[in-house]
Amino acid sequence: MLQDVALGLLTSGVAVSGTARLIVDIAMYFGLFVIVAMALNFQYGNAGIPNMGCAVQVIMGGFTVSGITVRLMFTMAEAAGTELLPWANDFDWVYNNPSNVSTMNEFIGPRMSFGVSMLLFSLAVSLILGAVIGWVIALPAIRLRATYLMIVLITMADAAQIFGRNIPAISGGTLGMFIPNIYEWYPGDRTVLSAVITLLIGIISFFLFRTMLNSPYGRLMRAIRENEVTVGSVGKNVVGIRRNILMFASGITALSGTLLAFYFSYVVEANYQRAFWTYWPWLMLILGGPGNNAGTFLGCALIVAMRRVIIVNKWFLQAVFFFPIAYFESILLGVLLIAVIMFRPNGLIPEKLLYIPGVNYTKMVNEEVKIDWRNAPKARGGSSGIGGIMSAFGGGKKEEES
Amino acid sequence: MDVDTILFWVMMALWVIMPAFIVYEEITERKALAEAEAATEEANSS
């Protein structure tokens, strides 16, 4: 009985099948991974922060839906007069979840504004919580050197999963939990709508990152990547800037976790594994070429298409390989990584020099400077040279008196 | 034509437009960089 309910919840509103199903699936994963890979490119490609904890931010997005949005939905539905089974304690929260979610789907069906507002609420909260988790990560880790920072972030990704596995109130523990279908009002296949929304958010994220990178802050990021000691020596707060970058990118990364939760209508910590949400985006970035968005997109498109085709056609591919096909994906990850690092260390599309529209560097460099430095106003006023030093120590007053 | 088919093609359009725009921008920037480099070399040689 429970199995039928579970299967019904997972497949509700899914009508597209065959090749179209595969295309929708690839588009959805492309949208999700492109958000994560662009955020990673923003952090590593442009600021040199090796974030090996992308999974932490993605899992935060998923937990936002399962831990906060679902509770808010239940509370609002009960306030509107819908009768739900008890869900206050951990046991009821997990075991009454399928029944409550089924009731919620009936509630959302005729209320489009409710579904849309819950989607927007989840995205906003995951953006904030993603930034908060970025700040939390930055606290102990940001002062560390690259290698130690990577180790700390890998550990945090595992820690986030352990929290999800052992605290049922977050995401139903090891059983996971169903999420009400916020697209229940949509008359067609919810996965197509979900893919469109994900791709739209991917485009918005792209323009956000693009604007950031073309701004003076983007140039500061690149300067930190090249030599943080020099940037620090001219008075910039390197630690603060790195923390801001990590927070901003973490917020954007968390959006993909939220979108995945609504796509599956199900959240379990095992869906947010470190290998899946950290190593694959890293491979996309390294394959495409860090430091430019075109490379990130190319890497993302190639890897996602390859993975989905392998997963869908495992049955046919098994006849060709002598080893279990289940390992093929992991082998592919390793082989591709080694091949790219050996033969194309800069990726398929190497990073180009910085070009900012409207700024003519040639003119700036060749411009004649007509300033008479002797008559130019002093930055701190007063005199210079020995007199200035004397005045700084109180000797200047005597000079004026004499 | 049902809603799914329309949305499916909207999805395909988004999927094509996004990388196409990025590739266009990349090519434009590389071209502008090459022009700026050529102008610098010309200025240096003169």
Facing residue for B7 by CB, picked from A193, A298, A349: A193
List the single residue in A with minimal CA-CA distance to B35: A362
Look at B18 and A20 and tell me if their CB atoms are within 8 Å: no
Look at B2 and A292 and tell me if their CB atoms are within 8 Å: no
Give the whole-angstrom CA distance, residue A61 versus residue A78: 25
**What percentage of chain A exceeds 70 in pLDDT?**
83
Distance from CA of B41 to the nearest CA of A (A): 10
CB of B33 within 8 Å of a chain A CB? The answer is yes
Look at B22 and A206 and tell me if their CB atoms are within 8 Å: yes
List the single residue in B with minimal CA-CA distance to A187: B3
For residue A239, which amino acid is it? Answer: V
CB of B38 within 8 Å of a chain A CB? The answer is no
Structure confidence at residue A378 (pLDDT): 55
Is the separation of the CB atoms in A395 and A388 below 8 Å? no
Look at A24 and B8 and tell me if their CB atoms are within 8 Å: yes
CB of B10 within 8 Å of a chain A CB? The answer is yes
For residue A178, which amino acid is it? Answer: F
**Which residues from chain B sit within 8 angstroms of residue A186, using beta carbons?**
3
Residue A8 pLDDT grade (very low, low, confident, very high; cuts 50, 70, 90)? low
List the single residue in B with minimal CA-CA distance to A359: B36
CB of B32 within 8 Å of a chain A CB? The answer is yes
**What percentage of chain A exceeds 90 in pLDDT?**
34
Distance from CA of B3 to the nearest CA of A (A): 6
| Residue-wise pLDDT tens digits, A50-101 | 888 899 999 999 999 999 999 999 999 999 988 888 888 888 889 999 999 9
Task: Report, as an integer, the average pLDDT of A371-384.
Answer: 53
Give the whole-angstrom CA distance, residue A34 versus residue A288: 12
Facing residue for A355 by CB, picked from B8, B22, B33: B33
Phi first, then psi: what are they for A178, rounded to 5°?
Answer: -80, 150
Look at A352 and B33 and tell me if their CB atoms are within 8 Å: yes
Look at B18 and A195 and tell me if their CB atoms are within 8 Å: no
| Residue-wise pLDDT tens digits, A177-192 | 999 999 989 888 888 9
Give the whole-angstrom CA distance, residue A198 versus residue B18: 12
**Which residues from chain A sit within 8 angstroms of residue B4, using beta carbons?**
15-16, 188-189, 192
Look at A362 and B43 and tell me if their CB atoms are within 8 Å: yes
Residue A227 pLDDT grade (very low, low, confident, very high; cuts 50, 70, 90)? confident
| Residue-wise pLDDT tens digits, A149-177 | 888 888 888 899 999 999 999 988 899 89
Task: Kindly report the pTM of this predicted structure.
Answer: 0.83
Q: At what angle do helices A112-141 and A146-166 cross, to 10 degrees?
A: 130
List the single residue in A with minimal CA-CA distance to B10: A196
Look at B8 and A202 and tell me if their CB atoms are within 8 Å: no
Contacts of A343 (CB under 8 A, 6+ apart): none
Task: Report, as an integer, the average pLDDT of A32-54.
Answer: 90
Give the whole-angstrom CA distance, residue A350 versus residue A238: 26
Look at A196 and B2 and tell me if their CB atoms are within 8 Å: no
Residue A313 has pLDDT above 60, yes or no: yes
Determine the residue among B6, B10, B11, B33 to mutate to test chain A binding: the one whose Cβ has the most chain A Cβ atoms within 10 Å: B11
Residue B44 pLDDT grade (very low, low, confident, very high; cuts 50, 70, 90)? confident
List the single residue in A with minimal CA-CA distance to B44: A366
Is the separation of the CB atoms in A238 and A16 below 8 Å? no
- Give the gyration radius of chain A's Cα atoms: 26
Q: Which of A259, A373, A218, A239 is nearest to A29 (CA)?
A: A259
**Which residues from chain B sit within 8 angstroms of residue A192, using beta carbons?**
4, 7-8, 11
Contacts of A122 (CB under 8 A, 6+ apart): A64, A65, A68, A69, A258, A261, A262
Is the separation of the CB atoms in A54 and A278 below 8 Å? yes
- Residue B22 C-alpha from the chain's centroid: 4
List the single residue in B with minimal CA-CA distance to A192: B8
**Which residues from chain A sit within 8 angstroms of residue B7, using beta carbons?**
188, 192-193, 196
Residue A37 has pLDDT above 90, yes or no: yes
Task: Report, as an integer, the average pLDDT of A369-378.
Answer: 57
Structure confidence at residue A324 (pLDDT): 83
Look at A196 and B11 and tell me if their CB atoms are within 8 Å: yes
Is the separation of the CB atoms in A15 and A294 below 8 Å? no
